[in-house]
Amino acid sequence: MAKRLWIVFALFFLCAVAASAQDAKTVLQAAQKAMGDVTSIQYSGTGHINSFGQAWTPNAAWPSTNLTSYTKTIDYSSKSAKEDLIHSEPNPMVKGGGRPFAGDDKQQNLVSGQYAWDMPGSAPVPQLGAAAERQLQIWLTPHGFLKAAMENNATAKKVGTGTEISFQTGKYTVTGTINAQNMVTKTETWLPNPVLGDMPVETTFSGYKDFNGVKFPTTIVQKQGGQATLELTVNSVNPNPGLNISVPDAVKTATAPPIKVQSQKMADGIWFVAGGSHNSMVVEFPTYITVIEGPLGEGRSLAVIAEAKRLVPNKPIKYLINTHSHFDHSGGVRTYVAEGATIITQEINVPFYQKAWAAPRTLAPDNLSKGAKEANFLPVKEKYVLTEGNRTLEIFHESGSMHNAGMLLVYFPKEKILEEADDYTPDLPELAAPGGIRPPVFMANLMKNIQTLKLDVATVAPMHGIVVPFSEMQKAASAGKG
């Protein structure tokens, strides 16, 4: 009897799935007829683009910049897209990071099949690993969603006054809503993020108008991690323009470079660990190791951890000092939790990390998600001192920072070394341009804190750039650079 019931249940389930797929096909065909069936599309507009993961305070909106020009061209059959945009800093500037502080920032982002690259100038810059997400963005657009759903055995269910369509493409689940007028009003998916885990990506479409026989939204808003990353007012749409992209040889032959760590001894038991766009520091105490900064992601952190153990064998990493919550500086922090370290960070970050780290991580599991360790935090309000034997380091909250409200500075009083993040980047050639790449207010605030705290600095260890004498930072400050 039980076996018979299971057979009946299985047949019912299969019939329900088949009916759902058939319903999805009917809904998709109706939407395609209403919206127009195109092979390629180009749309342009203006609005705002936001710096993902660069909020001034945890849980705040991503900092917004003015999107003065935006054009995206998509060819669905070749899975290709080109995105051209120009954005500029608002006046007055907004708090937070990741924006084009000096003048307009022109960007061109491309994808063609398995290849992705940017064109910041005349030479392509391969973006290894970005092709999957950029292709996914093609299927999150209204007409792209219809095409992908038709090709990927979508299912349907009624929701409110519309229909929810879902399908799987690679490891990504994509869901969209089609209203009673047969217009796509929303698409949703999840992307892996080292800070947020399985991160929701939601794009809404409204204000549909007819553009040369094709219905297209005039307002597009995309949110990632619950905050807007793109707010676009569409003013022109060109159906079927075609897109012929030739993948540069330099992109075809590009391979992922190995993660490098280059250690520079700054004093007895203190090392500056560079080798990439972001730096860390390794500090030896009599019975343990402290690492300053866990940037980017798990790969970088594992490499720094290995270097720390090489430099200081047979001692545990007891602390990881996280300077601030921007994702490029906090993406590898969980790796240190898995290593058993306590995380020292400004107190406003603790609730944010606790909530973010509780999210599922099915798309890109990391070491912490595979283990059973719980995160331990040592919250800093204004000052905290680590001391053991003859080693002392002081951790200060940088008051008044426009870059991040929870910014920490680390100072070694005996060695007169100052660690700082994002206020001063001494080795980038862009600093020679008028205004540099950091706003003068960042440098001015850092100098003010150094004076207020009465820090006797001889050497600066930046989390971007190279180690320099403090006199070099003083020159940059007096010249209005960052």
Q: What gap in Å lies between CA 391 and CA 145, rounded to an integer? A: 58
Question: Is the same domain home to 74 and 223?
Answer: yes
DSSP one-letter string for 165-204: EEEEETTEEEEEEE-TTS-EEEEEEEEEETTTEEEEEEEE
Last residue of a domain, one of 252, 283, 298: 252
Residue 141 located in a structural domain: yes
- CA 481 centroid distance within chain: 26
So what's the pLDDT on residue 10?
43
DSSP one-letter string for 374-406: ---EEEESSEEEEEETTEEEEEEE-TT-SS-TT
Mean pLDDT of 12-36: 75
CATH of the domain at 375: 3.60.15.10
Last residue of a domain, one of 252, 275, 310: 252
DSSP type of residue 432: G
Q: Convert the pLDDT of each residue in 430-450 to its tens digit.
A: 544 444 456 789 999 999 999
So what's the pLDDT on residue 396?
99
Question: Is the same domain home to 345 and 437?
Answer: yes
Residue 2 located in a structural domain: no
Q: How many separate domains does the chain show?
A: 2
Question: Is the same domain home to 286 and 186?
Answer: no
Question: Is the same domain home to 207 and 274?
Answer: no
Residue 105 located in a structural domain: yes
Q: Convert the pLDDT of each residue in 278-336 to its tens digit.
A: 999 999 999 999 999 999 999 999 999 999 999 999 999 999 999 999 999 999 999 99
The answer on pLDDT for 21 being more than 90 is: no
Residue 429 located in a structural domain: yes
So what's the pLDDT on residue 225?
98
- CA 99 centroid distance within chain: 13
Question: Is the same domain home to 130 and 185?
Answer: yes
Residue 11 located in a structural domain: no
Q: What gap in Å lies between CA 265 and CA 273, rounded to an integer? A: 9
Residue 18 located in a structural domain: no
Question: Is the same domain home to 285 and 147?
Answer: no
Q: Which residue has the tokens 């190995």?
A: 258
Question: Is the same domain home to 302 and 421?
Answer: yes
Question: Is the same domain home to 132 and 232?
Answer: yes
Q: What gap in Å lies between CA 396 and CA 90, rounded to an integer? A: 30
The answer on pLDDT for 8 being more than 70 is: no
Question: Is the same domain home to 319 and 427?
Answer: yes
pTM of the model: 0.93
Question: Is the same domain home to 279 and 150?
Answer: no
Q: What gap in Å lies between CA 187 and CA 193, rounded to an integer? A: 19
So what's the pLDDT on residue 121?
87
In percent, the amount of the chain with pLDDT more than 70 equals: 92
Question: Is the same domain home to 290 and 378?
Answer: yes
- CA 151 centroid distance within chain: 30
The answer on pLDDT for 253 being more than 80 is: yes
So what's the pLDDT on residue 5?
43
Instruction: Write down the mean pLDDT value for the chain.
Output: 93
Last residue of a domain, one of 218, 252, 286: 252
Question: Is the same domain home to 246 and 266?
Answer: no
So what's the pLDDT on residue 101?
65
Give 89-140 as a 3 state SS string: CCCCCCCCCCCCCCCEEEEEEEEECCEEEECCCCCCEECCCCHHHHHHHHHC
Residue 223 located in a structural domain: yes
The answer on pLDDT for 24 being more than 60 is: yes
Residue 16 located in a structural domain: no
Pair of tokens at residue 370: 């595979």
3-state DSSP call for residue 367? helix
**Which range marks the domain in which residue 172 is found?**
34-252
CA dihedral 418, 420, 423, 426 (to 10 degrees): 70
Which of 2-6, 11-15, 274-278 comes out lowest in average pLDDT? 11-15
CATH of the domain at 50: 2.50.20.10
How many Cβ atoms sit within 10 Å of the Cβ of residue 374?
9
Closest CA to 228 of 95, 61, 100: 61
How big, in percent rounded to 5, are the helix, strand and coil portions of the chain?
Answer: 25, 35, 40
